Structure 1
């Protein structure tokens, strides 16, 4: 799975309204890189982004597609929520319950509150103050050891800057991105020739979790919108490493629990290598 013809990197969004017509920060950006070079594309809605990704997957050749949200949750959560272990069980559970309209209206906070009721007190937290959901605390008050869960996946312990998957609101609320992204992963992974790393054997198209902040030194120096720069630069870095046969170190040493349930960030621990390839 170290040889790819093209790479895409997706900066996802959990926005509840359409992003502005003019390309803006905090929206969905897809960076592409192949033999013709690197570019980035703006999307106002998750429906638009999914349609674009389906079109990419339909193209011939081997694709690596990275998403900047967690593909799994801390160990034990899947079995307690769904009755089945493994990350895909959560993808499909969420796909059956998350509603996501063409204008980005969605029910993620309501679904999180329902999960919290099932667990007793948590694990999710963060919501707009005006949203009346007593089962979803506005601030972090969760006692994770009492729930029998960890606050952070192993990869988030290795990459402390990465936010925990339970945080749903305000800066760095990657938990909302996961709730709105994993149903899309369930649908894309069901397409022929698609697999999700590190949970499934490699296929013609591989979906993976990425963390564009690994390229922060380069992104800060890049002109324009940060989101656009980071997807373009990371796509370029991963594509260049793939062409040089140097992706193997980024894929190695994934702990067993991450391979089955928690997931892993592609490139974690290799920020210097990624920056060298992107520069």
Structure 2
């Protein structure tokens, strides 16, 4: 089976931290794994530093004539219907641009993500869809705990891919253990900026361009390799970006990534999909390959 040939795979473990991560490499921070002619893993204390480093990696790879697949560990789309109601367009790209115009994020990680989430909730009538915030933050339009009736709101709580990967948390949860919603809010503006580059496609939204684009951005879920990562030991974040980048590159170089890039028919065009969802066995087998 053939598929897009990638020379280099980059896997990004993102963070929504509101202050720089510790100087000493730590969990729950930003880690970037690169699998190409060599493998490396880097730790970043701030989003600004990580985005600058990622842009430099992509520029260097493209200058060398290499095709790059970049995976981000946050959703690139929201449940069906959200994009159209927020922006008037049923397109994930419209949400990225909307977020990029409103999310403030300085060099020290200070940001306004909870304020923006509250603004969105007010636009939806004040009853959600986002929830979760620090107890001391007074934002009446953003409930501190889950108190959202998604059926009444007219939005799904989960995307279609989260039915296939039920361990993935809903994108609406912004705070406390397991929340991923804040990473989405803080990651989409970066995706918007990167997607403006020449020769950049975002899978699966730009399906027809994925075969030829010099850089392909995609959503990944490192926990698809949870057991293998746990066996690796050390800082989980570092292990998972290294192993997933290695696995995806081996599949791509062996011409076996096409299966991972198929999405179900009838998938809402604004939701997106997790690269590798339903293909955990292939990802694990690639790690065992010589």
TM-score relative to the length of structure 1: 0.97
Q: CA deviation at 1:172?
A: 1.7
For the residues of structure 2 that align with 1:49 and 1:256, how far apart are their CA atoms? Answer: 35
Contact 1:254 1:264 in 2 (8 A): no
For the residues of structure 1 that align with 2:267 and 2:119, how far apart are their CA atoms? Answer: 26
Q: CA deviation at 1:35?
A: 2.5
For the residues of structure 2 that align with 1:151 and 1:205, how far apart are their CA atoms? Answer: 31
Contact 1:66 1:207 in 2 (8 A): yes
**For residues 1-279 of structure 1, what are the structure 2 equivalents within 5 Å?**
2-36=4-38, 38-59=39-60, 60=62, 61-120=66-125, 121-200=127-206, 201-202=209-210, 203-258=213-268, 260-279=269-288
For the residues of structure 2 that align with 1:256 and 1:51, how far apart are their CA atoms? Answer: 36
Q: CA deviation at 1:157?
A: 1.3
For the residues of structure 2 that align with 1:187 and 1:253, how far apart are their CA atoms? Answer: 25
1:145-198 residue CA offsets vs partner (Å, 9 max, x unmatched): 111100000001111100001010012211100000000000000011111100
Note closer, same or farther for the CA distance 1:270–1:112 as it changes in structure 2 (3 Å cut). same
For the residues of structure 2 that align with 1:4 and 1:109, how far apart are their CA atoms? Answer: 37
Structure 1 residue ranges, 4+ long, deviating more than 4 angstroms after superposition: none
1:233-271 residue CA offsets vs partner (Å, 9 max, x unmatched): 00000000011111011011334434x200000000011
Instruction: Report SS of the residue matched to 2:218.
Output: strand
The answer for unaligned runs of 5 or more in structure 2 is: none
For the residues of structure 2 that align with 1:67 and 1:9, how far apart are their CA atoms? Answer: 6
Q: CA deviation at 1:24?
A: 0.4
Instruction: Report SS of the residue matched to 1:229.
Output: helix
Contact 1:8 1:33 in 2 (8 A): yes
For the residues of structure 1 that align with 2:187 and 2:266, how far apart are their CA atoms? Answer: 24
Contact 2:263 2:273 in 1 (8 A): no
Q: CA deviation at 1:113?
A: 0.5
For the residues of structure 2 that align with 1:144 and 1:86, how far apart are their CA atoms? Answer: 20
Contact 2:6 2:69 in 1 (8 A): yes
Q: CA deviation at 1:212?
A: 0.2
RMSD (Å), alpha carbons: 1.0
Contact 1:75 1:257 in 2 (8 A): no
Contact 2:132 2:142 in 1 (8 A): yes
Q: CA deviation at 1:39?
A: 2.0
Aligned length: 277
